[in-house]
Amino acid sequence: MDIKLYLKPVDFSKFKLPDWAQPKFSLGTILEKNHSKLPLEKAEIIIIGVEDDRSAIVKGSSKAPNKIREYLYPLNRISPRFKILDLGNIKTGKTINDTYFALKDVCASLIGAGKTVVVLGGSQDLTFGITKAFEETPFNLVNIDPKLDFKKGIKTINSETYLNFIFEKQPNLYSQSTLGYQNYFVDSLELDHSYEMETENKRLGEIRYDMSSIEPYLRDADILSFDLNAIRQLEAPGQYFGSPNGLYAEEACQVGHYAGMADKLKIAGFFNLIPRLDQGDLSCKLMAQIVWHFLEGFYFKKVESPCGTNNDFNEFIIEIDDIDLPLIFYQSQKTGRWWMKISDDDEIIERTFSCSEEDYRMAAQNDIPDRWWRNIRKLNRIVK
């Protein structure tokens, strides 16, 4: 499939670098050079834009992709040998479903060829189109969001109900996590329902207390869906939610960096930026910097796995009173990151998943971590 049929190429002449930028060292310069010299098959990471907000709660985010590029291109190129391409914007379909289908085809083709994809939205319901690229393989979805974008009983998709459609129509969804939600925007019944659906949620206060606690969630993710509304309005005024609380700018960039470093992440989408609501293009600049931190994390990431006979990991075996099998933890000697190994009740399937040092410390104190319980339930359900 020729994905370029779905895309409008970038016109680099429309993006003039500001006086402070050094053209020789800018990301825009290397993207323009790669556009003519780097074959698609040799690229490692691909940027695409989606100028569609027809299912948005508040319109305006369709103008975001090129505004993000305006402030992304002047930033540091990260490396002169960065194998990155910007393929332009997906052509808007006659209906929103046409856009979802095009996004699915483009993403499926790119990740099938081993590429990582950065999607510049557009409204966050485009996440549904992205997940359709995983119709044949299990996937993990992580949302950065101030609330749970799920409304029980709603049958119409929009930028705050798209999770309904992912839960109902994407049987290969293995796990979904919402990071940075704020409790006064989420009803207790919603949290109870999400618990029944075995999703995981971390409050803004929890991740602010320890930003590194979100790294294991992102390390196992296949898809990241980042909602600008998760950032407090003072630092990102180009949003419709407008909360005085939320992630700080540097925290949002740290999330982007962790996501870029994630071993398995295949697609990262950045959504709900509304340029007409922005002040001094502050949100556009911030979103560009979040994307830049993602790209930097991607370039410098170290892919590692404790599976097999890898000698670069410490192994810890912990006996727990209430379960028959021991809990097995691994810690990387290079990066200090942690993993946990589990198997189903009949020991038919084994799976290793990311965890934190805190999970290990809980187990060492004879307390079973929540992440172990959640994953063991999912694994037993798969076997049955």
Question: Which domains can be identified in the chain, with CATH numbers?
Answer: 3-300 (3.40.800.10), 313-383 (no CATH)
What is the per-residue pLDDT across 153-194, written as a single tens digit (0 to 9) for each? 888 999 999 999 999 999 999 999 999 999 999 988 888 888
| Pick from 160, 171, 158: nearest CA to 132 | 171
Q: Say how many C-beta atoms besides its own lie within 10 A of residue 143's C-beta.
A: 29
**C-alpha angle 219/225/132, rounded to 5°?**
95
Terminal Cα distance for the chain, rounded: 37
Q: How far apart are CA 272 and CA 68, in angstroms?
A: 12
Q: What are 37's two structure tokens?
A: 């010299």
What is the per-residue pLDDT across 341-373, written as a single tens digit (0 to 9) for each? 987 666 667 888 899 999 999 999 988 888 888
What is the per-residue pLDDT across 305-344, written as a single tens digit (0 to 9) for each? 887 666 789 999 998 877 777 889 999 998 899 999 987 6
Q: How far apart are CA 250 and CA 257, in angstroms?
A: 10
What is the per-residue pLDDT across 61-72, written as a single tens digit (0 to 9) for each? 999 999 999 999
What is the per-residue pLDDT across 272-310, written as a single tens digit (0 to 9) for each? 999 999 999 999 999 999 999 999 999 999 888 887 666
Per-residue pLDDT, 154? 84
pTM assigned to the model: 0.94
Q: How far apart are CA 275 and CA 176, in angstroms?
A: 29
Per-residue pLDDT, 178? 96
Do 51 and 3 touch, CB atoms closer than 8 A?
Answer: no
Whether 246 has a pLDDT exceeding 80, the answer reads yes
Q: What are 318's two structure tokens?
A: 């912990």
Whether 141 has a pLDDT exceeding 90, the answer reads yes
Question: Which stretch of DSSP H or E encloses residue 111?
Answer: helix 96-112
Per-residue pLDDT, 381? 67
Per-residue pLDDT, 164? 93
Per-residue pLDDT, 383? 58
Whether 29 has a pLDDT exceeding 80, the answer reads yes
What are the two backbone dihedrals, phi and then psi, of residue 312, each rounded to the nearest 5 degrees? -90, 15
